Structure 1
């Protein structure tokens, strides 16, 4: 399988280098005298509905009232100003392109303002949940702008501040306000999910571990947000330390056994069954995220099984079959045909990276198996993969390197000499109904 590892090939940055997409916002004389860079507050407020629909469900830390408070203190508090600009930047990142046809300059400007507005950290009391979310939102924006090294910097910055907050409050946990304690635990999960997405895609070492189960009930969240986030936590809790160790070491890991593979797939099945019950109250954006994430985890476990030569052409469980990724490609195609592209693009780059992993794996299997098989199923699987590759190629802001990989996969599929054994007869396929999993 062809993978991209950014940090092995990237040259070391110059001490004085700056991110390509981010340029300091123009300053007026008043701003040089110490005033914060200004932006139209009506723009910041106008983004609140999109923030509540697109950003908050997956990062339920600062709610609408909290955002309004930061905007109201824009001129008086540097950290509130930084958060307000970062909130606006991440919301524009996930806003449908029909509203922001060329979003990158606006995002870059807002990120620049957020970073310039921040006050220095001199004492541990300068740390706050809002400041951590500023770094987390900036991290998402750098991912959108394809500045992977800077994305990594601000991810690690957010995690470092989180760990310091944990240390600060560990001795006074019982004295913490109930809501602050719940929010801090929730923030750990938000950054855990961010980090797991990044380290799987770019093969770097994670810092955060799966936190212990919390008895706290996040009743302050809207029901659909709480249910969707709980289901997301349940899926990502499967990516524990053993999972990542096995993923990193694969064929060398003594923990990667048939029993571990089957156990992980069983755990995944249990979580997906619970999701079926909750899906009716989730938004399409939440369902899209959870559907793709579930299939992505399945494929990661399948890849680990393949590295240990545990797969078979006659396995009792479908996830242990050699052709499992291509068999699931038909299902993935049906899902994408049912879900709006807008709902997927509003998930940011993480959803694209997961889809890329799914489609890249399926295309490799079809390209290999197609050299030895020539039947109706193989033709259908190839057609599914071609459709999925074209689907990915239409994503906005497609990374040039990934676009090149997709073109190569497409050429390999189209070069297969497959003949419809039922030519002249209609080929029927059971598309069925799109079940959640």
Structure 2
């Protein structure tokens, strides 16, 4: 065979390069050839000639070639990173590195500090700016920024205009899709260094953001692992020991203390939602307000979840059976007194606090009925069967005060809490006699308003409204005619049964979580 040489590389004469051969187009045999240069492909002559086959879509082939080369590059980068033990330089971070444009990073950063910081006060602007400057040569900084952007994009409340990337059709590259790609990128690059043996506050925050990503994408098994990763790193760093904070400067001490309590609250909320155990306990002092007024709402949030300790979680997970009426009545009293009538907080903080308060009251009531403590004649309304009606009334009253955006920034977590209260109300309405009130809204009106709220929050209509409409049809079909017509029409157009089957198959669906009243309520004597 006659060969010609291009830049010290022997190429068979009149043989198309691998990409042109795959695409079935004429190759000019340059190095690189014109077709590869135009398509942005790596021009190689490595493939062994095969028999000719049927022709296919050339555009599709280009996409397949790019994806194959990208995966090869990512694999080589990961292997090189593991072998050298040093952070990769910016060009080798992977295909997602180019997605982190300055505009995207700035938009996500601004959204975080504008809407999310009061609930998650663990990052400072100077610190984040330094991480952005270092992300080109620091794996730790790169993973922090990547996970932060992924977390922000997956939140329902952030809307960014994203240009088509790679060969995606215009409009197909949605925020959650881009967020999912960035999340995978952060997870992949983290494997390039042993962050467990060399932990830092930054790696702990990264794990927390990855948990938030998984929660927003309903990947609860992965989410649980990332949350446990974050709490384990916090304990390795000694955040649970007050003595640890004596050796840090004021800024670092404040950041670590806030992070510990953020993980403390998150772990408790997730333990209640998904029946998980606890690893963190109230072993250090709360952060001080100082000049950061937004910390007042954060401290309220900590105090709201603080009573839900190992004892309660043990009862909730049924690993303990020593529950008493005094335990639940005291918890209900603590929840009632946990928040003042007037909250000197941001609107988004208030929305989270008020919604969480009513949701926690619902869970404690569920524990009461599970242990047979309720009575129709109890002088304590929290120990009666009608108490969820009062909770729904209070929730409707507080949520009407908040803007849509102040609630949406909390993602699906807030929607799930409203969903849980609504499900409990439906079960109670199906079991207790309801007296009509002429001058005061009743449980039907409360339910209608909760359904309207769920349908208007981004992510609620597509996922949770079909589930709750299906529950109404199965549990309390008599009230279907009393529901708001626009909600009924929405579900009729979408098909409730189809939506229910799609969402019910997910591991994080309401059907497999405690987002409904215990089934034995329907067999419990409520008269």
TM-score by length of 1: 0.79
- Residue 222 of structure 1 is matched in structure 2 by 292
Q: Does 1:148 align with 2:215?
A: no
- Residue 271 of structure 1 is matched in structure 2 by 338
Change (3 A) 1:31 1:408: closer
- Residue 120 of structure 2 is matched in structure 1 by 59
Q: Does 1:330 align with 2:401?
A: no
Change (3 A) 1:25 1:262: farther
Shift of 1:409: 2.6
> Counterparts of 1:43 and 1:65 in 2: how far apart (Å)?
18
Residues 316-355 of structure 1 mapped to structure 2, 5 A cutoff: 316-355=379-418
CA contact (8 A) 2:234 2:240 kept: no
- Residue 12 of structure 1 is matched in structure 2 by none
Shift of 1:130: 0.9
Shift of 1:82: 0.6
- Residue 248 of structure 1 is matched in structure 2 by 317
SS of 1:126's equivalent in the other structure is coil
CA contact (8 A) 1:143 1:151 kept: yes
Q: Deviations over 1:301-349 (max 9, x none)?
A: 1111222222222333322221011123223223333322222121022
> Counterparts of 1:230 and 1:172 in 2: how far apart (Å)?
21
> Counterparts of 1:415 and 1:211 in 2: how far apart (Å)?
51
> Counterparts of 1:262 and 1:168 in 2: how far apart (Å)?
30
> Counterparts of 1:286 and 1:364 in 2: how far apart (Å)?
30
Segment of structure 1 superposing worse, 264-273 or 23-32: 23-32
Residues 11-410 of structure 1 mapped to structure 2, 5 A cutoff: 26=70, 34=88, 35-36=92-93, 37-38=97-98, 39-94=100-155, 96=157, 98-99=159-160, 102-118=174-190, 120-122=192-194, 126-166=198-238, 173-214=245-286, 217-219=288-290, 222-223=292-293, 225-249=294-318, 253-254=321-322, 256-273=323-340, 276-277=341-342, 279=343, 281-369=344-432, 372-373=433-434, 375-376=436-437, 380-398=442-460, 402-410=464-472
CA contact (8 A) 1:288 1:344 kept: yes
Change (3 A) 1:385 1:168: closer
**Higher normalized contact order (CA 8 Å, seq sep 6+, divided by chain length):** 1
Shift of 1:390: 4.0
Which protein shows a greater Rg?
A: 2
Shift of 1:237: 0.7
Change (3 A) 1:32 1:253: same
Segment of structure 1 superposing worse, 147-156 or 404-413: 404-413
Shift of 1:401: 7.4
Change (3 A) 1:75 1:335: same
CA contact (8 A) 1:25 1:113 kept: no
Which ranges of 4 or more aligned residues in structure 1 deviate by more than 6 Å?
Answer: 27-31, 167-171
CA contact (8 A) 1:305 1:320 kept: yes
Change (3 A) 1:409 1:383: farther
Shift of 1:210: 2.7
> Counterparts of 1:189 and 1:397 in 2: how far apart (Å)?
28
Change (3 A) 1:262 1:25: farther
Change (3 A) 1:168 1:144: closer
Q: Give the unaligned 5+ runs of structure 2.
A: 1-66, 78-87, 162-170, 483-527
Q: Deviations over 1:351-404 (max 9, x none)?
A: 1221122111111101222xx445348983123213313432444335987555
> Counterparts of 1:187 and 1:264 in 2: how far apart (Å)?
26
CA contact (8 A) 1:59 1:190 kept: yes
Cα RMSD after superposing both structures: 3.2
> Counterparts of 2:240 and 2:335 in 1: how far apart (Å)?
35
Change (3 A) 1:345 1:401: closer
- Residue 522 of structure 2 is matched in structure 1 by none
SS of 1:96's equivalent in the other structure is coil
Residue correspondences, number: 386
CA contact (8 A) 1:89 1:111 kept: yes
> Counterparts of 1:406 and 1:81 in 2: how far apart (Å)?
41
> Counterparts of 1:243 and 1:24 in 2: how far apart (Å)?
51
Shift of 1:418: 10
Shift of 1:43: 1.7
Shift of 1:292: 0.5
Shift of 1:135: 1.0
> Counterparts of 1:326 and 1:125 in 2: how far apart (Å)?
51
